[in-house]
Amino acid sequence: MSEEEIKFLPFAEAARLVAAIQEEEDIHRHDKQILTVYNHDDREICWFDFEDLQEAVGPVNKEQQKEAIQDYILHHIPEWALDI
Q: Is residue 6 part of a domain?
A: no
What is the bridge-based pairing of β-strands 44-49 and 18-25? unpaired
Q: Phi, psi (5° rounding) for residue 76?
A: -130, 35
In a domain, 79, yes or no: yes
How many angstroms separate the CA atoms of 60 and 66, rounded? 10
Give a yes or no: residue 1 inside a domain.
no
Across the chain, the runs of DSSP E, i.e. the strands, are 18-25, 33-39, 44-49
Contact 43, 57 (CB under 8 A): no
Give the pTM.
0.88
Q: Is 51 contained in some domain?
A: yes
Please tell me the predicted confidence (pLDDT) of residue 60: 92
Per-residue model confidence as pLDDT tens digits over 14-37: 999 999 999 998 777 778 899 999
Domain-embedded: residue 61: yes
Range of the domain at 77: 11-83
Q: What are the tens digits of pLDDT across the range 32-60?
A: 899 999 999 999 999 999 999 999 999 99
Number of domains in the chain: 1
